[in-house]
Amino acid sequence: MVRVGGNMAKRRKPTKPKARKRKAPPAAARKREEKGSGAIEAALAGVAHDIRTPLTGVVALAELLAASDLGERERQWATA
- pLDDT, residue 64, reads 87
The pTM of the full predicted model, rounded to 2 decimals, is 0.41
- Tell me the pairing of strands 7-9 and 2-4: antiparallel
* Distance in Å from the first CA to the final CA of the chain: 96
**Sequence-separated (6 or more) residues with CB below 8 Å from residue 10:** 1, 2
The pLDDT tens digits for 13-67 are 777 767 677 766 677 777 777 777 788 888 889 999 888 889 999 889 888 888 8
Residues 6+ apart with CB under 8 A from 30: none
